[in-house]
Amino acid sequence: MAIRLLLPAFFFCVALALDSTQTPQAYDTPVVLATVRKIEESCIFANDFQFLRRIAWQESLDGRMLPSIWTTFKGKGGIWQIDPIALQDVQNRSTTAMNQKKAQISAQYGIDINALNRDNSDLEIPINAGIVARLKLFTIAAPIPMNINAQAAYWKTYYNTAAGSGTVEQFLANMQKIPPCNARGADLLFILDSSGSIGSSTFTNVRTFVQTVIQGLNIDPDANQVGIIDFSDSAVTVISFNSSKSALMAAAGSMKYYGSGTATTLALNQAVINFNAARDPSSGFPRVAVLVTDGQPNDPPSASAAAEALKASGITLFTVGVTSGADNTDLPNMASNPSCLYYYSLASYAELASEFPDILNSRTCDTSAAAPSNSSAISASVAQGQSLPFRFPVNITQGITFKLAMSSGQATIYASTKTRLPSSAEYEFMATASVGQLGQIYIPPNDMHLNDSSYAFNRLLSDYAAADSTSGTVTVFASVTGTAANTNNFTLQFNDGDTREKGAASALCFMPALLFLYALIMFVL
């Protein structure tokens, strides 16, 4: 009886960890996005330029057409519609390269590709179907194109094939209906090489690239802000943050071509200065820098050090090497981790202007904001269905407490030590908040997964610097998602240790490690 009386004091809610990517018959856009991210972030495969994600929409509308037909032949193909021939082809291939991929997949996900059985509904599990689809693409000798029109033809030739009923026109029409990015915005800074190796006429493509990206953004104090640095022997701020869209377009179109050296270090150092004048980090906007260059830095070691300093200040750094003359050894290391997501090698500046804007927009949509170092709270607003992702350095001996308070509307906070963008489809912790009800999460040290020896967690550690033995910190990822129809205004407070307000109306949630004990208590009672 004593135990029964104590339960209300400790179990305000039970927040089960969820991984829909491994849940049979899970579907819809959040599930697809989580599955694709999980495959991409492993860096097992080369960048597919959103193709795997687009196939999911083309084949099954992210699985929305499957709920009533899971038991049929079509339903057993899963979200990516894997037919028996495709599965058999992937399983029967035993080249050195394919066996290496299968071994990596086994280590990363615990999936034995050769043991998957379509008739046993194995492909109804999103991660299984997604990986088989990606392996199918891996078997194709022709590289996946960046251009969406070329991807439509590629899909018809190699995926849907002549035996399928789909058409290039249908693919392109469906892509117009794919759920768009719903990000709030970011502080985006272009760092553009205008050294002598580019050429004056070619530099026109750099101007076009920047203008194309800006044209597609909502430029507003409460959305996106853009700045531009142009560098050669020196680094010049072409235009600062807090500028209007018309001013940005004009500045991008009139950028000067200098045609001298490649002072990358100066440009990266200038970027730090520019971001210091951007919006306050406590506003929760991600900070993103895009370095575009075609050559070697004047001083490679100092450029690498400057890139590390930039990233250490909470900025996500994309590096783009254009043409074969770019420094494709140091640039991947200078980019944010994992480099398979943040480093790009392009064949030409024409490709930069025509194809890369769409890729950059999709990647910045998924970028999280670093926790502010000047505050222990983030105040922002989020629309219904919109998510704001964050990342927090956490002391491994204390853990972290999140307190989500709403001044209007309601929202859910999802948190994870393993998933870069926790969401309704994949999380370890969650809590809901509304006006008058505090959403609280405490993640204790023993739930930091520091002793996890799996390949997947080691991948996370190396790629996201999630654990730092020197500083004694681990990175925790969190997302706040709006759930009310109107604007949801919130303050997210974060503190070391357990600072939960147990006397307040709140949702206190715990890890599944406690579920067995909870179930045992309930059984006894």
**Residue-level pLDDT at 449:** 60
Tokens matching residue 10:
């400790």
Decide if pLDDT at 116 tops 70: yes
User: In the chain, pLDDT over 70 holds for what percent of residues?
Assistant: 88
Mean per-residue pLDDT over the chain, rounded: 90
Domains contained in the chain, CATH given? 22-175 (1.10.530), 187-365 (3.40.50.410), 375-524 (2.60.120.380)
Confidence of residue 352 (pLDDT cuts 50, 70, 90): very high
Q: How far is CA 223 from the centre of its chain?
A: 18
Look-up of token digits 């049929």 = 72
What is the DSSP code (8-state) at residue 275? H
CA neighbours closer than 13 Å in the CB half-sphere of residue 363: 29
What is the DSSP code (8-state) at residue 291? E
Tokens matching residue 264:
């990358």
Sheet with 438-443, edge to edge strand ranges: 377-382, 488-496, 400-408, 438-443, 506-509
What is the DSSP code (8-state) at residue 497? S
Q: What's the whole-model pTM score?
A: 0.89
61-96 pLDDT tens trace: 999 999 999 999 999 999 999 999 999 999 999 999
Q: What angle do CA 135, 139, 144 make, to 5 degrees?
A: 85
DSSP count for the chain of H helices, then E strands: 18, 19
